[in-house]
Structure 1
Amino acid sequence: MQFFMLQFAVKNPRNRKLLITLIIILVVVGVLVTIAVIQNLALPQKLKYGIVIDAGSSHTSLYIYQWPAEKMNDTGLVRELTSCKVKGPGISSYWMDVKKAGLSLRDCLNDAKGKLPVKQHHETPVYLGATAGMRLLRLQNQQLSESLLNSVQEFIKTYPFNLQGARILTGQDEGAFGWITINYLMGNFLKDSAGEDSPTLGALDLGGASTQITFVPDGNTESEESSLCFRLYGKSYNIYTHSYLCYGKDQALKMLLDKLNVLNDGTISNPCFNRGYSKSINATVFFDTPCISRPQSTTHQTLNLIGTGDSAQCSKDVNKIFNFTSCSWSSCSFNGVYQPPLHGQFGAFSAFYFVMNFLNLTKDGPHDLDKVKKAVDTFCSSPWAEVKSVFSIDERYLSEYCFAGHYILSLLQNGYNFTSTNWKAIKFVRKIKGSDAGWTLGYMLNLTNMIPAELPYTRPLTYTSYLTVMVIFSILLFILLLVGFLIFKKKLCRVGDKM
């Protein structure tokens, strides 16, 4: 083809201008197409990853989060990529052999190692947050709690991640980050940043050793200790939050048993266990907690728990672990703790959700308070043999649902001051848009404010430059086409003259 064009130009010198014009036109068209293709290629998204390990009182979970390197209003758009539940109890349970605490994380850390891009292992931060279980251990033996955390840190360091430390969260942190999580997942922060009126949700969290309530009050709070300020997506939030150590479900059960009478033969009749249930427990281990102010007054090493399934009595006994009378503020929750009047809707997660879900009270809701009470009473009055035949659940959890149901009712009604009027303001949730409700995502979201943002991948030309180049080359192409047309037309005229 090139040879033919060359011969065409040599034999016909008058065609050289037309040939050159055509070649230039082809080059300009090629440049235009190339610029358009390169400029409009889909840009790869820069992603960052973070790992948060939730070291709770009863179990440990590992969460992997990802967000774009380019941040919005100084806060990364974090979402949960995957999670892994660690086998075994919470790390505080390994106080007798601290090395086993770190080893318990091996499977989940290996899982994370396989799911994250190898080239980003060393830049992926890992944060371990220990909650109420470790807060209780620190109260009992601070040196032991520090030794346990150090052992866990040393084990995590054997992995190619960027360990940012392992620390015991305050109850205030746990409550506040849980509040951040559910509001982030509901999109409330983004709506607010767009100038829309989007009220935030309050957060209710119930773990094994503590419970937290967090919400934005309608007005100022009287207690500075229970007030926090966050700035997310360009907006500030003043929140009320309080954590009640020892009032998680597991520790509350121990406080209840401590208040029940022990018979001479070491038997404890418990109205919060189904009728016909029985279990032997080691008194020393079970009552070894700072949540009980005095040792159990019994000489028995082994205690026999006998369920009576008395729902009404269970409700009365559960109320005994709270103090609803003393209050030096304008309004209180329990134990003399200040709490402003409830305001807005609430999301209840962790054990709140699991107990209500077991009682079939999380679907087709929200359900009114009377229906919840009836469901709890119905379950409590069922014989243990019948309960076991209907539910294929681990007996430890199954046996505690009667107590847990009454405990949640007492905590929410008498403690946090929910009534039949505003009960439906509570939505019991486990996941929101595929992510677990809990403090870990809020923790990661808050920490991204401290991680430098990277510039996103950019296109070769700015929009203005791209438009300018395309206009110039288009004009040039038009001129060349016009010149080519005139040359071709002149050639045709000459051919006509010769004829």
Structure 2
Amino acid sequence: MEDTKDSELKRCCSKNILIILGFSFLIAIIALIAVGMTQNKPLPENIKYGVVLDAGSSHTSIYIYAWPAEKENDTGVVRQLDECTVKGPGISKQAEYLDDLEMYMSECMEKAMHVIPQSHHQDTPVYLGATAGMRLLSAENRTQARIIMDKVTHTLNKFPFDLRGARIITGEEEGAYGWITINYLMGEFTQKSSWFNFNTDENSFETSGALDLGGASTQITFQPFLNDTYESPKNMLYFYLYGKYYSVYTHSFLCYGKDQALLQKLAKGIQGTNGILYDPCFHDGYERVMNMSDIFKTSCTQKFYMAYPFNQIKIIGAGNYDKCYASLHELFNTSFCFYSSCSFNGVYLPKLKGNFGAFSAFYYVLEFLNFTSSEVPNKDTLANILREFCSRPWNELKKQYKNIKENYLSEYCFAGTYILTLLHKGYHFTMDTWNRVHFMDKIQNSSVGWSLGYMLNLTNMIPAEQPVSRPLSNSTYVFLMVFFSLILVVVVILALLIFHKPSYIWKDIA
């Protein structure tokens, strides 16, 4: 009878122990899964966004950027998400259409609203930088320029972003921010392998210079040699990026962008004519009639102004590269210099150092002439190509390039020759240094220009956030995983003993 009672007691106890072990096993499995999923679930996106509007003389472009909220050496690692070109001319030509500014900007700003998550709209900073077109207008009519900028500010405030500023940036800022963009995209600041490597020495982290050519101005920016004496402090700018300080030389030549340079050339060429100008920078057979008021409406051409008995000038193309090159030389005054060395018009220029990235109109014109950003065209080779191109009849050219607007096509001879003249006569690139110039448009899907450098520099003023951390510390996570795993092992071992060798459990119960 007692044996029967003992057997029933053992079975009852075994059943209860198995239930407890099963429950413990289930709890341990659930705990392991819960801790693992909680610790390893994807972290919430911690991205900041920014928008920069490049309000140039000929058009306005909008660039959308993103960067991790946790900075690298106090500077955001910014990448370009998208860009949009506003349809129509630059804002400096919008004085008569101020009421249409919202419509003017709406398409591109709505694109930015679509690209940037709605939850980030209110904390996304927006900056507008107006360049040489507005600098010229401000010099000619400060009141009108202020009215346009006030209207632009009012318009941008209607969009659901955080407008941090809309202002006319200086030419020196424009040049320096372009320099930042090039060196950032080439990996020079972080000293990592560059995406677009000019340097053959893997141990060299020398920064590259920047050459920018717009419609109204051109900029040159580079780091001079360390032992150079900076003879013109106003041409030096200083930056702190990625944990390092940089001092760069920069100068912006207002009125020497390709559009204003052409107007200067025409204004100078009109002198001594009877209303007909035979211009070697235009193709044979090309004709254009321009109002005198359009030529002399800008302050860039005022120095050539004279009273003329005609209101229009007829331009007839002569198609001669060499004569075009000679006429453009006259725009650069190198007869005086109060420093040890100058570029032109008495402007200080240190000795050229390193490689240079040439972008904006530099690239667009050279691309048309079949040079890519990876090629370094020899100066004589480029001159020969231009010599042949400029000599081609206008009718022949129109048939070959039917898809290019005539006002653009007609000016490629001038623009290519002007670039050659500017680099040689203006900036003093010689046969020995010409191969240092690299023409570029984009690097890793980011446009080369001042706007990215502007965003990079501004991230120094945008507070960083603490990295998003895991729910558990690494040590706590490891402890919990080991603890619950040991519970599983113990439960399995006890269950095996109960099933296969119950005598070990009950040998003391008799």
Residues 346 and 303 of structure 1: is their aligned pair in 2 closer, same or farther, counting only changes over 3 Å? Answer: same
Name which of 266, 269, 281 aligns with 2:290: 281
Residues 310 and 296 of structure 1: is their aligned pair in 2 closer, same or farther, counting only changes over 3 Å? Answer: farther
Partner in structure 2 of residue 3 of structure 1:
none
Structure 2 Cα separation of the partners of residues 461 and 204 of structure 1: 51
The answer to whether the aligner puts 1:187 opposite 2:182 as a matched pair is no
Partner in structure 2 of residue 200 of structure 1:
207
SS at structure 2 position matched to 1:419: coil
Partner in structure 2 of residue 434 of structure 1:
445
Residues 262 and 63 of structure 1: is their aligned pair in 2 closer, same or farther, counting only changes over 3 Å? Answer: same
Query: Cα offset for 1:345?
Result: 1.1
Structure 2 Cα separation of the partners of residues 486 and 231 of structure 1: 69
Structure 2 Cα separation of the partners of residues 417 and 456 of structure 1: 49
**1:380·1:402 contact (CA, 8 Å) conserved in 2?**
yes
Residues 161 and 364 of structure 1: is their aligned pair in 2 closer, same or farther, counting only changes over 3 Å? Answer: closer
Amino acid at match of 1:268: L
The answer to whether the aligner puts 1:473 opposite 2:480 as a matched pair is no
Query: Cα offset for 1:494?
Result: 7.7
Residues 203 and 20 of structure 1: is their aligned pair in 2 closer, same or farther, counting only changes over 3 Å? Answer: same
TM-superposition CA deviations, 1:238-272 (whole Å, max 9, x none): 11111111110000011111111456641111111
Partner in structure 1 of residue 360 of structure 2:
350
The answer to whether the aligner puts 1:322 opposite 2:332 as a matched pair is yes
TM-superposition CA deviations, 1:167-224 (whole Å, max 9, x none): 0000011001111111111222222699964221211100000000111112233221
Q: Which runs of 5+ in 1 are unaligned?
A: 1-7
Structure 2 Cα separation of the partners of residues 494 and 413 of structure 1: 97
Q: Which runs of 5+ in 2 are unaligned?
A: 1-7, 195-201
Query: Cα offset for 1:470?
Result: 2.3
SS at structure 2 position matched to 1:279: strand
What pairs up with 1:224-263 in 2 under 5 angstroms?
224-262=233-271
Structure 1 Cα separation of the partners of residues 60 and 498 of structure 2: 81
**2:62·2:85 contact (CA, 8 Å) conserved in 1?**
yes
TM-superposition CA deviations, 1:146-174 (whole Å, max 9, x none): 01110111111121111112100000110
Partner in structure 1 of residue 412 of structure 2:
401
Structure 2 Cα separation of the partners of residues 202 and 488 of structure 1: 80
Structure 1 Cα separation of the partners of residues 508 and 166 of structure 2: 94
Query: Cα offset for 1:102?
Result: 4.7
Partner in structure 1 of residue 198 of structure 2:
none
Query: Cα offset for 1:425?
Result: 1.2
Query: Cα offset for 1:484?
Result: 4.2
SS at structure 1 position matched to 2:392: coil
SS at structure 2 position matched to 1:452: coil
Structure 2 Cα separation of the partners of residues 265 and 373 of structure 1: 32
Name which of 377, 396, 399 aligns with 1:389: 399
SS at structure 2 position matched to 1:250: helix
Query: Cα offset for 1:480?
Result: 4.0
Query: Cα offset for 1:49?
Result: 1.4
Partner in structure 2 of residue 421 of structure 1:
432
SS at structure 1 position matched to 2:300: coil
**1:50·1:444 contact (CA, 8 Å) conserved in 2?**
yes
TM-superposition CA deviations, 1:409-446 (whole Å, max 9, x none): 11111111111112111111111100111001111111
Structure 2 Cα separation of the partners of residues 151 and 485 of structure 1: 82
SS at structure 2 position matched to 1:260: helix
Q: Comparing 296-305 with 388-397, which one deviates more in the overlay?
A: 296-305
What's the TM-score once normalised by structure 1's chain length?
Answer: 0.93
Partner in structure 2 of residue 268 of structure 1:
277
Q: Comparing 122-131 with 471-480, which one deviates more in the overlay?
A: 471-480
Residues 354 and 162 of structure 1: is their aligned pair in 2 closer, same or farther, counting only changes over 3 Å? Answer: same
What's the TM-score once normalised by structure 2's chain length?
Answer: 0.91
Structure 2 Cα separation of the partners of residues 364 and 489 of structure 1: 76
Structure 1 Cα separation of the partners of residues 74 and 446 of structure 2: 22
Name which of 363, 369, 379 aligns with 1:359: 369
Residues 264 and 481 of structure 1: is their aligned pair in 2 closer, same or farther, counting only changes over 3 Å? Answer: closer
Residues 289 and 117 of structure 1: is their aligned pair in 2 closer, same or farther, counting only changes over 3 Å? Answer: same
Residues 363 and 14 of structure 1: is their aligned pair in 2 closer, same or farther, counting only changes over 3 Å? Answer: closer
Residues 494 and 423 of structure 1: is their aligned pair in 2 closer, same or farther, counting only changes over 3 Å? Answer: closer
Query: Cα offset for 1:295?
Result: 2.1
**1:66·1:78 contact (CA, 8 Å) conserved in 2?**
yes
Structure 2 Cα separation of the partners of residues 14 and 126 of structure 1: 72
Amino acid at match of 2:442: K
Structure 2 Cα separation of the partners of residues 382 and 33 of structure 1: 76
Q: How many positions carry a matched residue from both structures? A: 491
Partner in structure 2 of residue 143 of structure 1:
143
Q: Comparing 172-181 with 445-454, which one deviates more in the overlay?
A: 445-454
Cα RMSD (Å) of the superposition? 2.5
TM-superposition CA deviations, 1:9-64 (whole Å, max 9, x none): 99622332243123213312321222122212222322221111111001111111
